Structure 1
Amino acid sequence: MTERQHRHLLVVGAQCKEMGTLARLEEAASTLHSVLTDPALGACAAHTGDHPSLLVSDALEPEDVRNAVRQAVCRARDDNAVLVVALLGHGFTAPQQADLYYMVAKSTTGSPGSAVHVGQVLTEAVDEPGIEGVIALMDTCHAAGAVPDARGIAGGVRAGRTRLSVLTAAAADQAARDMRLTFAVVDVLRKGITGAGPLVYADATLAEELRERIVGQVVGRFEYDNDPYAADGLWLARNARSAPGVGGGVVGPAGRQDLEEAVTSWRAATRLPARLTRSALDELYTFARDGGVADDADPVWHDRVTDVVATLLGCCELVTLLNTVFAEVLTSDLLGAARRLSGLPPEAEGAELPRDLVEYAALRAPKLGESPWKVPARFVAALALLTTGSEVDARLRDWAWKAGVVTEFNDALAELARKREQGELRLVVSLAGALTDWPEEVDAWLLGSGEQLPVHERFRCESADQRGVGRAIGTALNWARRRLPVPEQLVNVDVAAPAHLLASWQPEEDRVGFRRLGVNHTVVVRWSGRMDPMEEIAEMNDAARKALRDMSARPGVPVEWIGVSVLEDQRRLEQDLETGRYDTAVGLDHHPEALQDVLEQLLPYAPIVLWPRPDAHTGDPRLRGQVERHWQSLPAGFAEAYRNRWSAGHEDCRGCLGEVRTVWHDEPWLEFCRPFEQRVVAGLEEEL
């Protein structure tokens, strides 16, 4: 594993009399050495004594530098380690040549022998048997000339089976000033790279970060990797800004499986590297796209390789974008919430987020013939909704445009916003155990959290009365909140109770913590009888589902209002109920004295029952008008009406929606009740 990789370091800072003193050389060398030997960053071993890992002087000879490199190579060889070498100072190239010579105290530009041939030193270092690889940082003028000839490496004793990464401060014909590369590297390693995973490599990602910081010089890089047996990637430092759960490679299990299948079917002898980097994907894409097809290769699988690699490159770009846009808030909990909201299954959450989520969405979720970016667009929309609400970052819209999924992205934003507004995330509290009075315990379920089954917990009441139930509901709310990721908030609360409690209890008015339950929650009252595990429950709920569908298909407000005369004619009422007359929403135009009996009679038939508070006027047409006026906002609209009733000026209100009570069963509630319909009550097993 990369955490066990042995690493050695040599930082050399040489002043040259002919070229003038570099004022910041010592500072740059010591700062770089400090970062690269920091266990949390570069994790290289520091050495002092005769052969130190930091060598800064104005009196160095060429042999001093070559000997220091040889000693560092030997340490790395004996430890089977990676060697990081940094040469800081002056450099020159000979006329008509591009090879870089590193200058020491008495070096002159007219005498290559008075300086150190960098390419030769690096070639010898990387060719040493036992060394795991070399990373070189060249902060000199003409630094690109430090890149050794690959043929020289391939012709060495290791036959090229080795690894080398080189970062250069300037082009071969260009000056480098003020130790800009060194200070930029230090800055990047200390701050980290968003979206780069837990490790920083001397790759295109790092080069891009450095180029953003360095003006007037062409930062370059060279990579040679021809060691198929290397156990670990050649990394420069640990990433100080690693996103939660992001792993070292840019390709996850799903992507690697698809790519290996396609590559093997295309060219059987081709083997993917153990760690798929972004540069490796770029090279494979170029190779496949620009003519890397053998005569005996299958063209169908050639196209498949190209498509898979293109998709994986797109996933890399999207992950980088997400880590940038959501850098301040991106957590495993947020990604999990976005996964659930967007509809991706739990198996999409691999060990490394968000890479595996994006990869699954692009490679596994799309239907046949569908754009690979349709489902990722939905996932991105979910992230946007969970973090910004209404404002969507312009960079996300730009990504959707480039991916060709603008319509899908906007559709997902609208649908998911609507889905959240419909309140799929809700807490259900049931008082079903209250057979005659108040219960001794309440049951709670958390719905819409993304789990296949609602999470359930039971809470004991401190006392079997209204106060004890209120405290138990407060405990259930705290339990539910702890299960939700930031920034999710629990707003919707369903309270299910028997008819004898529904007739006199207003649960939204119970104090929970510092406030009434209904102040910060939308409370909907349900009848617990639709959760009873009895034979008739399935028939009763199926009839309610049909009634709700019929009601939604009708124009107008589907409320059947009944008065005192209807309730007094019990025989006729029972007949009407049995024949389906009141299989809709039933409204009482008065508050019956025996409300409990009326509710017990109506609730098995009518999915929605409404009635006025006890002090409302019998037959008051204003209440019926309020229900009809606000029908499309119900039942959630009652929560706001009750809050308004509590405010100043509404204490004596007799004609507002807040004067109406209800027990409401909609289709989401009936779906919640479905498992109770199918419950199997097993008898005691016979003893054998």
Structure 2
Amino acid sequence: MTTAAVRHVLVIAAQCAAMGELTRLNEAARELHDALTDPDLGGCRARTGAYPSLLTGDDLAPEDVDKSVNAALQQARADGAVLVLALLGHGFTPPQSSELYFMVGGSTPQSPRSALDVGHLLTQAADEPGVDGLIAIVDTCHAGGAVPNAARLAGGVRAGRSRLAMLTAAAADQPARDLSLSRSLTRTLKTGVPGAGPAVYVDRTLAETLRDQVSGQVIGRAEYDQDPFPLEGLWLARNPAHTANSRADTVGSLGLQDLRDSVELWRGPHRSPRRVTRTALRELRDFVTSGQVDDERRPDAREDVEDVVTGLLEVFRTKEFLTDALADSLSSDLLRSARRLAGFPSLAAGTVDGATEGAVESSVPLRDLLEHAVLRTRRRREAQWKGLARFVTALFHEAGLPRTHPGLQAWARRLDVHTEVTDAYAEFATDQRRRALRLVISLAGAWTEWPEEVDAWLLRGGDDLPLHQRFRCETSGSHSTAQAIGAALRWARRELPHPELLEHIDIAAPAHLLARWHPEEEKVGRYLLGARYSVVPRWSGRLDEAEDNAEINDAARKALRKLAAAPAQVKWIGPAALDDRSALEYRLSIGQYDTAVGVDHCPQDLEEVLELFLPFAPIVLWPRGDARPAAHRLPELVRERWHELPDGLAAAYRSRWQAHHDCTACLGDLRAVWHDEAWLEFCRPFEHRVVTAPEEEA
């Protein structure tokens, strides 16, 4: 069931002085109108103004009804929409005739001209060009007489290419009592029709459901369909009783946006779907591939619609495969780690980033990630499923499953993505080895100025103990420190077997150096250190001999878990908060800043500010002192590019060094001290006052 963004409704409830007051008329009309305009049920657009979508009164004239119907038809025509028209009140059939007349304020059974010929009214409405279909609900006595003559429908300006579905409250020779059709229909739309599928249609199932609820009058239905190219099925409402209407079986916001854009490009505005299920996608696919469509705006855009629909159908199919294949490991943590490994932004994760810690994730966020993989990662002239293959591979890799997993092999075979899966596995394994291979350089001994010596540890991953070496600084200053770092790099290269290459360096320094020193800008050998390595600054305080190291590191681990569940939740601190240090220290002591902390400016006393925050926050951010004019946009940039951090800062710094004059805000203006899980694991031996190298020096 594709659900158009615009559907129109007109509910008319007219009292008639000659026939006596219907005490429940206004209530029944209002409740039916509410159900039909409920976005989760009828999905019709409510209107106010001169021609509202709910018209009631005891003094309505035939021309009032005519004008309202004409106005509703013009709206439906302009939007290419379905019109749902409901007539509630009194009706009569003239002697020797079965044609129904709808009665208004001054109508009498003796004067057909004082009332409205419902069959004629519905025939003209169904024949209106541009209207995608008419659904009529007639709740009056003798309502069966409202069904138009088929010969009338077969002619007209559309030559019979129109659609009409009707519900009638009683046979042509029967009275209708207590507005039973309207009231029963409203209840049914709200509760749903078991077994009716994702949508409620004016079909045998609905008619029998209503007949079971109403006695003493025969609920009738009629259908006429001669339109070969409708936008969608002529549905009356969504079916709450159908499990496929749950959120997990609908297209996500990203997929819906792409579907909306492509359909509107193809067939013009107001043709866009609003809420789409898997069944609806299949119907739309059949419609797109069916052949000639009379009202195409951009025929060449049909292929885009087909691509989006095909992609979204694959999302449902792959979601089912993953839910089954990864049943024992598909958690919010797995989805987050796979998202990061695949290189997807946090916005692609939908609600997965806000999931409760430790909760097993439902398939809805998985759907959002799959939609991103299908719709947002494909580059021009790339294989259609390359991005999807990368994300699915990331899930299996992070779950610890091999490339030869039978389910993954079958899935790759079906989509012909064996090469993409193999390449992604190789890339992830290589990246894992590279990240595990790190050189840690500590300037922990620089208590006041520059250190007299630096410690270096070479971490190679796995269970191997890190190698340790100490290098002396000949003099005091950044140049001598850079020379010692260069000596550490030469030592590390000698220790590494061919063909391993070092790419990641951690520099641990005290707060006074972190506040004014940019280690990646030091020239070490022929290059700046950051030109060839990804340099991540750390705080050396976690390596000091201190009783509270275990406490602050445990707090950091909890904060990192919180950040993993809700990434980019940086708490930014302004000048006003920094001015009141005692209040700030109190908030830190009660755990208020138990996440990443960002200082939104570069304070004069940055060293003291870092000393304040570094024991409490695992990640501290601030702008450079010479940041670009729009540095106030850094919080926005951090939120947008959080998934790239901290390694993405290396590329940002390199860009900043080059010609970047037209950039008013740059991620390269951001300074960061970053303590992730890997760093906290490296710090674990120091939590027990082990201040020498983890491996004893020779």
- Common fold, TM-score beyond 0.5? no
TM-score category, normalised to shorter length: 0.3 to 0.5
* Structure having greater relative contact order (Cα 8 Å, sep ≥ 6): 2
TM-score (norm 2): 0.38
TM-score (norm 1): 0.39
